[in-house]
Each structure stands twice: as structure tokens, then as C-alpha cells.
Amino acid sequence: MVTSTHEAAHRIFQEHPEVLAPVFEALGLPPPVKADIAALSPDVTEFRPMERRVDTVLKVEPTDGDGFMVAVEMQTKRAPDKGANWAYYVAYMRAKYDLPVLLVAVCKNRPTASWAAGPFECRVGPWATQVTRPFVLGPDTVPEITDESMIVREPALATIAAIVHSESKHIAAILDLLARGMRSFDKPTAKYWCEFLEVGLEDTPARETWRGLQKMVATYFPGRGTLFEETYLEGKAEGEAKGEAKGVLRVLEVRGLHVSHDARERITSCTDLDRLADWLDRSGTVERAEDLFVGNPEISEDDPGNA
């Protein structure tokens, strides 16, 4: 079953293979360079009755050294059949591309990470014909984010680190630091990484924490025009408009004036605070609710709120 976390991992490894840096470093390989890596079809199906698909398949052709394949799997929990499936993926890609294969499993908690490391053996008696040992990107191999500058330098790695540690007891602090680190991003960049992380956190409690930070973090960066600040200010303006509209209706009702469905809809749907303030001022003197919508020369006739 393809989940939001799988989709986020699929996209981030294809678009930002630099997140594989901890794997390459641990194996003594040169750091991953985007120009040397191509995303391939994740389909490893030979016979259509049984479809098999890897989350991400990358072909690495470094300028120095031999090429190889990288198969990335997002694993959120143990799966009884995964060992056999992973062995199939590796064997199939080895035969198809005639290149060695590195299988990388991305896990969000230590029990799953420990299990995913294998080895998974195809064994008869004392003899193992095939052994599959994934390299695991998990809480023990990907450090928690503790440096705000790292978020600015390596946003992709910071994002995958937050996903990997989403079940950590420190996740709230990690996400808070991540939000602070994004203060230097322009709006499109901030929005891009915010959405990546929100999708990757899926239905975990950490996702709600992150959603809250996106709305409230404007207080950290006043006047910076960040995504967070705009989201906060939009919500604040919407709340003020609703309050003003409620005040207009309340005055009309207390005065015993009939408020038709159309008039009520027009008042409650208005988001122009200046117009609402004018209506509130005049709601105490008009003879009919409809009189609010006429006789204001300062409002343009082609303004949507005056239609």
C-alpha cells in the first residue's frame, strides 16, 4: 500500500539524491552528485499477474569509479514478505542493468530499523544461497537536527532527518528548529519544503505539530514575508472579518430589523474589513438591512463586495 510517507520518500530521493549522503559516507563512496544520478522506472515486474514496485530506483554513474544501482524503500513497519520481495528486487535489477545494487531502507523507528537491517536469507539447511542486507537510514544512522544552519545548507537532508525522527521524543524541538531555519527561505522554497515534510510525516502526531508551527511561527519572523507569516496574517484577517460580520448582524437583530437570507449571506461572506466597519457603523441607523449596501460613494461600483 502506497502511503503519503512513501510518496514523500519517492519524490525526495528522486529530486534530491543528496539525501543519500549518510549512506555514501558510511560506505566510503564519494558524495552523491545530482549530475551523476538518474531516476529510473521503479517497476520491477516481469509477469503482470504479480506486480512489484520499488519506491525509488536510481542509477549512479560517478565520474570516478564504477556505476551501481540504488533501490530505496520506505519501510514504516515490519512486513513478513519483505525479505523475499527485497531479494527479488535486487536480483531483478542486477540482471536487468548488469550493475551491483545497493538497497536502502528508510525507517522511522528503531524496532523497524533493526529488523530491516536483516540479513534476510534464502536458506536450505546450513546453506544460504542468497543473503539480502539493506543499508538502513534510520534513527541510529541519520543524526537529529541540532544546528539551524544545517537546515539552510541542506534542506533535503534536514527534511528526511525530520521524517526519520518523527517518532522521537525530541520531534517537537526538531520541528521547531526546522521552522526557525526556514526563515531565510523565499516563499516558494519554504512552501516546497513545508509541503514535503507535512506529507512525509503522514498521520503521525508530529504532523499536527508541524501544521501548528506553520500557522504560528510568524511571531518568530515578523515582517519577513515568509510563508508562515502570510498564513498567520491571512487567518488573523479572516477571523477579524467574521467578528465584524457577526457584530453587524447582532445590531440589526437587536433593533428588530429583518435580515433576509441574501443580506445575511452578503454580510457573512464579506472579507473587506473597511466595508464591514462601515456597515457596523451604519447598522444602528439604517431602516432596512438592505440599506447597508447603498449610499456609500467611497466604494467602487465594480467592487465585488458591492455587487
Residue 219 lies in a domain: yes
Nearest to 73 by CA among 32, 125, 134, 23: 134
- Same domain membership, residue 110 and residue 27: yes
Q: How many domains does the chain have?
A: 3
Q: Which of 81, 104, 137 is the C-terminal boundary of a domain? A: 137
CATH code, domain carrying 20:
3.40.1350
pLDDT digits over 281-298, tens only?
Answer: 888 888 899 988 886 544
CA distance 17 to 249: 56
pLDDT digits over 153-211, tens only?
Answer: 899 999 999 999 999 999 999 998 888 888 778 777 887 888 788 888 877 888 888 87
Residue 142 lies in a domain: no
Q: Which of 163, 194, 225 is the C-terminal boundary of a domain? A: 225
CA distance 107 to 138: 5
Please state the pTM of the whole predicted model.
0.64
Range of the domain at 205: 148-225
- Same domain membership, residue 197 and residue 290: no
Count CB-CB contacts under 10 A for residue 24: 20
Q: Which of 158, 191, 225 is the C-terminal boundary of a domain? A: 225
- Same domain membership, residue 272 and residue 186: no
Residue type, position 93, single letter: M
Q: Select the more confidently predicted residue: 125 or 43.
A: 125
DSSP H or E segment with residue 252:
helix 227-254
pLDDT digits over 233-247, tens only?
Answer: 666 677 778 888 888
* 228 has pLDDT over 70: no
- Same domain membership, residue 14 and residue 131: yes
What percent of the chain is helix, strand and coil (3-state, nearest 5)?
A: 55, 10, 35
- Same domain membership, residue 201 and residue 80: no
- Same domain membership, residue 175 and residue 97: no
**Can you give 99-150 as a three-state secondary structure string?**
CCEEEEEECCCHHHHHHHCCCEEEEECCEEEEEECCEEECCCCCCCCCCHHH
Determine contact, residues 86/103, Cβ cutoff 8 Å: yes
**The three cell numbers locating residue 169:** 521524543
- Same domain membership, residue 123 and residue 8: yes
Determine contact, residues 167/204, Cβ cutoff 8 Å: yes
Band of residue 41 on the pLDDT scale cut at 50, 70, 90: low
- Same domain membership, residue 13 and residue 120: yes
Determine contact, residues 8/200, Cβ cutoff 8 Å: yes
